[in-house]
Amino acid sequence: MLELKNIYKTFNAGTVNEKRVLKGLSLSLADGDFATIVGSNGAGKSTMFNAVTGVFYVDSGEIILDGEDITFKKEYFRSKEIGHLFQDPMLGTAPHMTIEENMALAYLRASKGRHGYFSRVSKKDKAMFKEHLRMLDMGLEDRMKQPAGLLSGGQRQALTLIMATMVTPKLLLLDEHTAALDPATAEKVLGLTKNIVAERKITCLMVTHNMHQALTLGNRTLMMDAGNIVFDVSGEERSRLSVEDLLNKFKDNAGKNLDNDRILLSD
Amino acid sequence: MSQIFTVSILQSALELGFIYSLVVLALFISFKILNIADLSTDGCFTLGCAVAASVTISGHPVLALFAAMGAGVLSGFITAFLQTRLGVESILAGIIVNTGLYTVNIAAMGFSANLNLFQCDSIFTMARDFIGESSLVTGGWYKLLLLIVLILVAAVLVTLFLGTRLGLSIRATGDNAAMVKASSINPKFTITVGLCISGSLTALSGGILAQYQKSCDINLGTGMVTIALASLIIGETLIGTGPVAKRVAGVIFGSCLYRFIVAVAIRLNVPAECLKLVSALIVAVAIAFPYIKENARFTKRKYTEMARRKKGGAA
């Protein structure tokens, strides 16, 4: 589904602040893969996501999504097929638009083939939005006419998740999307993520700093360091790994200890 | 006092209020929805007025309004092009276009500083002839009636449009830039469309005004952005925010109320040359009002609470 071939990206090239963030990164995700990513500070996790979504163009290498070369496609073109959730829950919804309008926007833009510029959502669509919100079990289905800005961070993140997956994307990128939420809400949003991704078989990449999650969620674990993937495990080998094993693997492959100042070793 | 609020004052205030409400609607789109301070409004208003006046003189009053709108779209497009494709700061883009439009406007009026349309057919004379002999005509109410119909159509169209996929995208562009980037909306495109619509409404307003007052002057648009902003804020302060339909209603209400305040000021013998100062004062007060209200409420609470605590502390 997603193929990264030998990606290089350097920021501020030729200045004293030159930073080589991605150094020959390659990754191949099969259809329906759900991979978690852990890595040290500045390993290039978010940069990799931004390269895929097109926040910037990569210096060299190829990005292929579902057989289509999107290396030089514009950001707004790629995001039709890619859902992206950030750590900051405020980034995913428009605060002064109502919940319903936010969902209408997400729905109409994602299903572009069927909806022209002047299309509106029907009563049936609105009922469908309500159905989706009911899944959250947060009472949002009764607050459709309220601005999204009135929701709590957790509610906004849950809404963003619904919006990103309402029309099934080819790829879902989750950049520590539960890290800024309180533990109970984080648990809920994570459970929801698990269900939606499994139910629709969405190909998904998720950055986390929780080592336990990294091993238990999805079917594959990637460890990143210094702009590259240093450890990639899936299947039976993964199911036998403990958090300690994972840390040792990192040390063996990266030649140093995992130095992420927010890492959580237990759940 | 009774002389201040005559029916004819209310009537002409409403007429002007409805005409100018289109500019306010334009500013609502650029300033409130897109969150862009578009300062080309003054020039764009005069542009609509000049284009409509020229076409009206040549004998096509209805075509004149469409021509004005077309010119407004073009003006909005250039403003948008400067800021989205050429990297000009949005405020600067508006100022540049505004400056350039002065020459364009003079040219549109055949290189004269004013035109008069006293002998020409206009949408108002057409409405009068259409209605024929009735009390509507003798009382002059047909003008207001026509304007209400026009403005209602425009307001409903804008409201409906803001609920479409493109309209929602435009609203999101001004509301959450980060979200827009991550959700397949091209902000360059939405800003361009938004400013084109805004420009067409501004110019339409100018065009209707030209036919309403049967003249066009190169300095007609001066200070228009301030006036429209005042109306916008008056409407928002009194009607409040909420669904788009309510906000659009607030825009029209604010515009009419502003015209009414100005009419009263004239009635109170404020000299014509002081009107701009009166406008500026109204704007300043209207913008400061919510802040002052909030502050006053807090100060009051502070003093009552402190007084209560002092009493309580002594007991």
What rounded mean pLDDT belongs to chain B? 89
CB contact under 8 A, B175 and A109: no
Q: Which residues pair with A225 in a beta bridge?
A: A228
Rounded CA gap, B125 and B211, in Å?
9
CB contact under 8 A, B171 and A97: yes
A223-257 burial: b if 16+ Cβ within 10 Å, else e: bbbbbbbbbebeeeebeeeebeebbebbeeebeee
State residue A140 phi and psi, 5-degree precision.
-70, -20
Ordered by start, the domain boundaries in chain B are 7-269, 273-315
CB contact under 8 A, B186 and A76: yes
Residues of chain B contacting residue A117, judged by C-beta atoms under 8 Å apart: 164-166
Domains of chain A from N-terminus onward = 29-60+71-93+169-254 (3.40.50.300), 96-150 (no CATH)
Residues of chain B contacting residue A162, judged by C-beta atoms under 8 Å apart: none
Say if A76 is an interface residue toward chain B (CB within 8 Å).
yes
Residue A263 pLDDT: 73
Residue A39 pLDDT: 86
Kindly report the nearest CA distance between residue A176 and chain B, in angstroms: 16
CB contact under 8 A, B185 and A109: yes
Question: Is the separation of the CB atoms in A202 and A33 below 8 Å?
Answer: no
CB contact under 8 A, B176 and A91: yes
What does the pLDDT profile of chain B (315 residues) look like in tens digits?
456 678 888 888 999 999 999 999 999 999 999 999 999 999 999 999 999 999 999 999 999 999 999 999 999 999 999 999 999 999 999 999 999 999 999 999 999 988 988 888 899 888 888 887 777 777 778 889 999 999 999 999 999 999 998 999 999 999 988 888 777 788 999 999 999 999 999 999 999 999 999 999 999 888 889 889 889 988 988 888 888 999 999 999 999 998 988 888 888 888 878 877 887 888 788 778 888 888 999 999 999 999 988 887 654
List, for residues A165-222, the tens digit of each pLDDT value: 888 899 999 999 998 888 888 888 899 999 999 998 999 999 998 888 888 888 999 9
Rounded CA gap, A143 and A14, in Å?
52
DSSP 8-state class, residue A148: G
> Could you tell me the mean pLDDT of each successive run of 10 residues in chain A, 267 residues long?
91 88 91 90 88 91 92 88 89 92 86 73 88 87 91 91 90 91 88 91 91 88 89 87 84 78 65
Residue A209, SS3 per DSSP:
coil
Q: What angle, 0 to 180 degrees and rounded to 10, lies between the N-to-C axes of helices B41-57 and B7-27?
A: 120
Helices (H), A92-152: 99-110, 123-136
Residue A212 pLDDT: 86
When CB atoms are compared, the residue of A76, A78, A116 closest to B185 is A76
**Which residues in chain B (173-202) have CB-CB distances under 8 A to chain A?**
175-176, 178-179, 181-187
Rounded CA gap, A166 and A179, in Å?
23
Helices (H), A54-178: 75-78, 99-110, 123-136, 153-165
Kindly report the nearest CA distance between residue A43 and chain B, in angstroms: 22
How far are the Cα atoms of A234, B43, B131, B165, B204 from residue B18, in angstroms, in the given order? 67, 20, 20, 28, 12
Q: Which amino acid is at B278?
A: V
The secondary structure of chain A in percent helix, strand, coil, rounded to multiples of 5, reads 40, 25, 35
Question: Is the separation of the CB atoms in A60 and A91 below 8 Å?
Answer: no
Residue B133 pLDDT: 74
> Encoding tokens for residue B306?
């402190």
State residue A195 phi and psi, 5-degree precision.
-60, -50
Question: Is the separation of the CB atoms in A88 and A95 below 8 Å?
Answer: no
When CB atoms are compared, the residue of A77, A84, A117 closest to B164 is A117
Residue B313 pLDDT: 61
Residue B173 pLDDT: 93
User: Which of A101, A129, A150 is most worth mutating to test chain B (most B CB atoms within 10 A of its CB)?
Assistant: A101
Cα nearest neighbour of B190 on chain A: A117
Residues of chain A contacting residue B169, judged by C-beta atoms under 8 Å apart: 105, 109
Residues of chain B contacting residue A84, judged by C-beta atoms under 8 Å apart: 182
How many cross-chain Cβ pairs, A to B, lie less than 8 Å apart? 80
Rounded CA gap, A237 and A54, in Å?
33
Q: What pTM value is reported for the model?
A: 0.86
CATH number for the domain whose boundaries are B7-269:
1.10.3470
CB contact under 8 A, B184 and A118: no
Any residues with CB less than 8 A from the CB of B289 and at least 6 apart, and which?
A: B237
Any residues with CB less than 8 A from the CB of B246 and at least 6 apart, and which?
A: B239, B240
When CB atoms are compared, the residue of A94, A104, A110 closest to B176 is A94
Question: Is the separation of the CB atoms in A204 and A218 below 8 Å?
Answer: yes
Kindly report the nearest CA distance between residue B185 and chain A, in angstroms: 5
Say if B82 is an interface residue toward chain A (CB within 8 Å).
no
**What's the angle, vertex CA B228, arms to CA B9 and CA B262, rounded to 5?**
25
Rounded CA gap, A29 and A45, in Å?
15
Q: What is the ipTM of this complex?
A: 0.82
Any residues with CB less than 8 A from the CB of B304 and at least 6 apart, and which?
A: none
Residue A112 pLDDT: 58
Say if A101 is an interface residue toward chain B (CB within 8 Å).
yes
Cα nearest neighbour of B181 on chain A: A76
Residue B1 pLDDT: 47
**Which residues in chain A (191-210) have CB-CB distances under 8 A to chain B?**
none
Question: Is the separation of the CB atoms in A71 and A62 below 8 Å?
Answer: yes
Closest CA to A83 of A167, A183, A186: A167
Any residues with CB less than 8 A from the CB of B166 and at least 6 apart, and which?
A: A117, A118, B190, B193
Say if B305 is an interface residue toward chain A (CB within 8 Å).
no
Question: Is the separation of the CB atoms in B96 and B38 below 8 Å?
Answer: no
> Encoding tokens for residue B250?
């607030």
How far are the Cα atoms of A98, B16, B294 from residue B144, in angstroms, in the given order? 35, 9, 37
Rounded CA gap, A250 and B4, in Å?
83
Residue that is written with structure tokens 């990128």 in the block = A173
Rounded CA gap, B44 and B303, in Å?
50
Q: List the beta strands (DSSP E) in chain B.
A: 114-116, 215-217
When CB atoms are compared, the residue of A55, A78, A96 closest to B175 is A96
Any residues with CB less than 8 A from the CB of A96 and at least 6 apart, and which?
A: A147, A149, B171, B175, B241
Say if A105 is an interface residue toward chain B (CB within 8 Å).
yes
